[in-house]
Structure 1
Amino acid sequence: MAVKTRQERKVVGTNVRKVDGLALACGRPKFTLDVDIPGALVGRILRSPHAHARIVSIDTSEAEALPGVACILHYGNTKRIPFTTAGQGWPEPSPYDAVLFDSKVRYVGDRVAAVAAESEEIAEQALRLIRVEYEVLPAALSVEEALVEGAPIIHDEEDAEGIYDARRNIAAAVDIPVGDIQRGFSESDVVVETTCEIPYSQHTPLEPHCVIAYFDEDGRLVIRTSTQVPFHVRRIVARALELPLERIRVVKPRIGGGFGCKQEIILEPVAAALALRTGRAVKMALDRSEVFVSSRTRHPMRVRVKLGAKKDGRLQAIEMEATSNTGAYGAHSLTVLSNVGSKTLPLYNKAPHLWFHGKAVYTNLPVAGAYRGYGATQGYFALEVAMDELAERLGMDPVELRLANHIRAGETSPIFEKIGEGREGKPQIVRSCALSECLKVGAERIGWKEKRAQKRRQGSWVYGVGMSGSM
């Protein structure tokens, strides 16, 4: 087949004018809420003040009588259909442990009811008029509390699907052995073990989660939303509201930051349900406090790494154990947990004995989800801390330790075949890898050897240089 010349190509290698280029250059990009839909209602959400409770009763009569209130939804007047809020590939690897509105709340900030009204002020006033009686339940506010014998069961509903072990509050688990890990440690001259705690962090995009749901001239539900996953939005809303896919159109305008938190379908089902119930357009946006509490965070995680090596630095064994706090729901629980090992352990493929195991644990805390790095961040942090400790024990330059063990072009790792992102892995060969060159050139250009020899202490501070690897 003849290869087209540059002059003959119409797309590849050509300068294509951006559709919104002029608007960007003029400072007039259109974000989700930058369109005016006349007559649109404003949606707001009533949230739980309790970490764990059952809703005994909910009285919306006073709120519904307020002039300007168009609709109030809660568990008593909506259908219960389990789904996942995680925007992921099909088949979805995350548990179906969420519903539109539940009679049980699982963290402070969980959804209780939603109001659609003529203005934000009326909607907020209506929220204050909703009377909710709660039966407060014991809460598990840490991974340790959630895993002890007799801990409160966070997901005791019978219709949830895909939870690894609900009675033990384990949303997902992995156990991937390669070789004989005990033999690997017994044959090592030096063994180090370290545990790292990675805390909560929030994405805080400039544009919060926001959405407008309305109907086009053909009666089709249109969801204009600040999302990273428009097709997943359509599929998940269709399931949650029992709508055929062809009745839903998702519009993804330019978004004001996402970083993973907008791989989550949070407001879209609520706005769509309010629009369907009222027959009118509904716009919703989280305020900044809701972004912190009721959207998503990075998974807090405890990662334990144990390394065994020969005196010359050759790794013999790597054990990595991850305990992930998924919060009240298991969105992205299995996939993030899987990536802790699957995206990190192949880097040091010279070790013949590996063991990656761990679990994602439900707690009565804010829900964790996708965040830049998607599990690899937590895994690499702990792995590289352990590599530095091993280098110190061996009396070896940390750069040289990594050069002796990292994967090269043309090589593979058994981890590739054993585990993927929430599913079985696939064997693969690394086709390109310039990590050796990066490490050598980087060390030379920053004066690594000279600066490393000049480490100094000043009170509780140590001044020096450090390095780490990732792939």
Structure 2
Amino acid sequence: MKVIGKSYDKKDGLRLAMGAPAYTEDLYDTKEYLTVKLLRSPHPFAKIVSIDTSAALELEGVVAVYTHHDVPKTQYTRAGQNYPEPSNYDKRMLDEYVRYVGDEVAIIAAETERVAEEAMKLIKVEYEVLEPVLDSETAIGHPSVIHPEGVVEKIPSGVDVENNIAATYVLAYGNLDEAFSNCTHVVEHKYYTQAQAHVMMETHRSNAHLDAYDRLVVTTSTQVPFHARRILAHALSIPVAKIRVIKPRIGGGFGGKQALHTEFYTAFVTLKTGRPSMLTYTRKEAFESTYTRHPMVFTYKVGADENGIIRAIKVNGISDTGAYGEHARTVFSAACLKVLSMYNKMDAFDFEGNVVYTNRTPGGALRGYGTTQGVFAIESAINELAHEMKFDPCRIRELNHTQEGETHLVYRASGSDGVKKPIKLIENNKMSTCIEHGKKLIGWDEKYGKPMVNGNKARGVGMALSMQGSGIPSIDMGAAIIKLNEDGSFNLMMGATDLGTGSDTVLAQIAAEVLSVPLDKISVHSSDTDVTPFDVGAYASSTTYITGTAVVNAAEDIRSQILAEGAMMIEEAPEQCEYDGERVFCGEKSINLADLAMKLLYVKNQKQLVGHGSHVTEKSPPPFLAGFAEVEVDLDTGEFEIIDYVASVDGGAILNPKLALIQMEGGLVQGMGMAVFEDVKFIDGKLKTNSLLEYKIPTRSDVPKITVDFVESYEPSGPFGGKSVGEVCINTPSPAIADAIFNATGVRVRKLPVTPEKIILGKLGHDV
């Protein structure tokens, strides 16, 4: 390999670090743009009785104010997912009901931001305040019905609006009672995961204008430009052909931009006024009025025989989707499918539960996408089972985890849709090696069960496993086009969305490798719905695996064309010729690539060589990870420090080690934030943690020693053996750190985040 497997800096890294204009607000002179602002609900649940906008409209500089009387009544989902969307259509641009503090009430368009904010204060709204639903565990059967108007299901998901159920999910296999009767040890506990905010550095923002042909052009910081175009067309009742969506550089997303938030409002204002408009969310709005991770609660019952083989698992879960059901069922199902799949020696299992509406900030996609919540619950339960059985936690997993060449047990099961799932053969699984490497790197055998005490401080180690996926099988599709230029360079055009991950660079490496040219011969253009081919976007850990294979196909296509055209130029049969990235040759006869390109465009057999490729697959090869944590705890105060974290990961062949390492380290730190720092807190339905002063994420000083170990692996279905690493990294810190705390203190924290206060309360005998 000349390019693949080598560490390259991100193609755009230096310019971005130097502050070059590249983001949504950098690309246009916005002095002539209308500023859009949104009046938001102060109540968690209310019906709008009346709105008086007259005083606001009289303010100089106010161009328009729109209420629910003025906008389309179309129901839609904001979730950027494939069509038909598996999320409920339960949102309107503006509605007579407001369903959480921060829900949209009115749209203000003004000449300046100051005027828009002044106008907002002049709008008078009379509300009929309704009793809110603020607890997911009491949402079902609550007297208040959050969506009395009903919702639209494109794909049946078990909605029951009268009981505030946004979705249900059931998956079962075998005879559960019989399986538990054969268990010598059973543990049963309830585990809670909290809401988590995305806290990307660039908040949500978009601008819109009409081009010379009166087409709507929306420039937006989005992970899903093609989904955004389709959803906007539906919400605004205009043809897809009338909309262009441009994705510039993105200042972080983490799943929060796998949805539309600002785009509806700038598009609507521009269509109504004919003027360009822009909307930038404040940090407060990003916290209060976009998405969080879905909070979940799981009751896990796990049974094993005397040999440590897990024979039965029963799970009951509740997921809180907040005011709207976006990503509701798919996130919850991931907490089953990508979690129970890790263990396949069971005789029976049963997973069932509901996703419920509440009057809180909506849940949505966030890195890990349900697997994070599910992994905390199952890995905590298995750690508790190992402790009760006096088994080493690593050993019980070695006995039970799904091995290479085996099948995922959950794909033998029948779900709530009654359809038998296809059996998924695992062709590439190095979990055993990950456990082995991780144990050595953390010093597990020397430290486990032997807490080192220094005065009032104790140390402990803990571990957990995780798997994820690489794209959504039979659904996710990516495409690429590669064009040959007259100097022998290439343009790679694709709809894949680089949200700071470096995917543009990795995909360019793939093209360069197939075409046998240096990386600097590949120029990348990504994510413009008018210019680039279709791609589902950046989510589900799909880009390297799905779009990467599409790039391979496109590069192989144009490579074969180069060989054929070069052979014709030197008057030889293509099968007798070779191409090495610099020339096409046959014996002593050859033609330089740049000469070939120039002649094709200007002199002989004139044509533009373009390679096309797309890819969709029934496979979604999982990455596997073993995570190990070491902590030091002050036994008097409960304060603790993460001393060391080791992640040993099977991510297939690593195409760019530097960028893969950055992905892993960033995801691990984000997982540590969820484990011990981050907690979205509400008081009477109002978000308290709506600023970076209130909501703490890890800083550089909080990051411990982190060791990332890439286990040598090769995924036969992936580009050059690659699969994903972008999400699996976030899942293990919470259960591993919680178990390390237990092994140091004897306190088992089952409700995230782990805090010093909970450790002290646990030592006093409270359930934490």
Instruction: Quote how far apart the aligned CAs of 1:446 are.
Output: 2.1
Instruction: Quote how far apart the aligned CAs of 1:65 are.
Output: 1.2
SS at match of 1:291: helix
Seen in structure 2, the aligned counterparts of structure 1 residues 257 and 423 have a Cα distance that, compared at 3 Å, is farther
Which residue in 2 is equivalent to 1:393?
388
Which residue in 1 is equivalent to 2:371?
376
SS at match of 1:348: coil
Deviations 1:303-341 (A, max 9, x none): 121111011101100112221010000010000000000
Instruction: Quote how far apart the aligned CAs of 1:216 are.
Output: 1.4
Instruction: Quote how far apart the aligned CAs of 1:61 are.
Output: 1.0
1:130 aligns with 2:123: yes
1:292 aligns with 2:284: no
For 1:116 and 1:419, how far apart are their aligned partners in 2?
52
Tell me, yes or no, if the aligned pair for 2:172 and 2:414 is still in contact at 8 Å: no
Tell me, yes or no, if the aligned pair for 1:339 and 1:375 is still in contact at 8 Å: yes
Instruction: Report 1:21-420 matches (<5 A).
Output: 23-24=15-16, 26-35=18-27, 36-147=29-140, 149-158=141-150, 160-161=152-153, 164-416=159-411, 418=413
For 1:351 and 1:180, how far apart are their aligned partners in 2?
11
SS at match of 1:469: strand
Tell me, yes or no, if the aligned pair for 2:45 and 2:99 is still in contact at 8 Å: yes
Seen in structure 2, the aligned counterparts of structure 1 residues 460 and 330 have a Cα distance that, compared at 3 Å, is farther
SS at match of 1:222: strand
| Structure 1 stretches of at least 4 aligned residues deviating more than 6 Å after TM superposition | 11-19, 457-461
Deviations 1:149-173 (A, max 9, x none): 3420000004544661000000000
For 2:113 and 2:207, how far apart are their aligned partners in 1?
14
Tell me, yes or no, if the aligned pair for 2:133 and 2:142 is still in contact at 8 Å: no
Instruction: Quote how far apart the aligned CAs of 1:457 are.
Output: 6.3
Could you tell me which runs of 5 or more consecutive residues in structure 2 were left unpaired when the two chains were aligned: 468-768
Instruction: Quote how far apart the aligned CAs of 1:418 are.
Output: 4.4
Instruction: Quote how far apart the aligned CAs of 1:145 are.
Output: 3.2
1:438 aligns with 2:434: yes
Seen in structure 2, the aligned counterparts of structure 1 residues 436 and 159 have a Cα distance that, compared at 3 Å, is closer
For 1:115 and 1:419, how far apart are their aligned partners in 2?
50
Tell me, yes or no, if the aligned pair for 2:323 and 2:357 is still in contact at 8 Å: yes
Seen in structure 2, the aligned counterparts of structure 1 residues 218 and 22 have a Cα distance that, compared at 3 Å, is farther
Tell me, yes or no, if the aligned pair for 1:29 and 1:254 is still in contact at 8 Å: no
* TM-score (ref. length: structure 2): 0.58
Tell me, yes or no, if the aligned pair for 1:338 and 1:419 is still in contact at 8 Å: no
For 1:97 and 1:159, how far apart are their aligned partners in 2?
5
Tell me, yes or no, if the aligned pair for 1:419 and 1:426 is still in contact at 8 Å: no
Seen in structure 2, the aligned counterparts of structure 1 residues 450 and 296 have a Cα distance that, compared at 3 Å, is same
Larger radius of gyration: 2
Tell me, yes or no, if the aligned pair for 1:308 and 1:317 is still in contact at 8 Å: yes
Percent of aligned pairs sharing the same letter: 44
Seen in structure 2, the aligned counterparts of structure 1 residues 15 and 449 have a Cα distance that, compared at 3 Å, is closer
For 1:308 and 1:437, how far apart are their aligned partners in 2?
26
> Bigger shift: 450-459 or 362-371?
450-459
**One-letter code of the match for 1:301?**
M
Which residue in 2 is equivalent to 1:3?
none
> Bigger shift: 264-273 or 458-467?
458-467
Deviations 1:11-66 (A, max 9, x none): 98999998756733643141111122341000000000111100001111111111
For 2:370 and 2:136, how far apart are their aligned partners in 1?
17
RMSD: 2.4
Tell me, yes or no, if the aligned pair for 2:171 and 2:413 is still in contact at 8 Å: yes
SS at match of 2:191: strand
Tell me, yes or no, if the aligned pair for 1:416 and 1:427 is still in contact at 8 Å: yes
Instruction: Quote how far apart the aligned CAs of 1:94 are.
Output: 0.5
For 1:96 and 1:326, how far apart are their aligned partners in 2?
14
Deviations 1:363-406 (A, max 9, x none): 01111100010000000001000111111111111100000000
**One-letter code of the match for 1:90?**
Y
* TM-score (ref. length: structure 1): 0.93
SS at match of 2:32: coil
Tell me, yes or no, if the aligned pair for 1:216 and 1:222 is still in contact at 8 Å: yes
SS at match of 2:159: coil
For 1:266 and 1:348, how far apart are their aligned partners in 2?
38
Instruction: Quote how far apart the aligned CAs of 1:200 are.
Output: 1.3
SS at match of 1:260: coil
Which residue in 1 is equivalent to 2:708?
none
For 1:85 and 1:167, how far apart are their aligned partners in 2?
22
SS at match of 1:191: strand
**One-letter code of the match for 1:155?**
H
For 1:307 and 1:76, how far apart are their aligned partners in 2?
53
- Between the two structures, name the one with larger relative contact order (CA 8 Å, sep ≥ 6): 1
Instruction: Quote how far apart the aligned CAs of 1:358 are.
Output: 1.1
For 2:389 and 2:12, how far apart are their aligned partners in 1?
56
Instruction: Quote how far apart the aligned CAs of 1:213 are.
Output: 0.9
Could you tell me which runs of 5 or more consecutive residues in structure 1 were left unpaired when the two chains were aligned: 1-5
> Bigger shift: 446-455 or 90-99?
446-455
Seen in structure 2, the aligned counterparts of structure 1 residues 437 and 80 have a Cα distance that, compared at 3 Å, is same
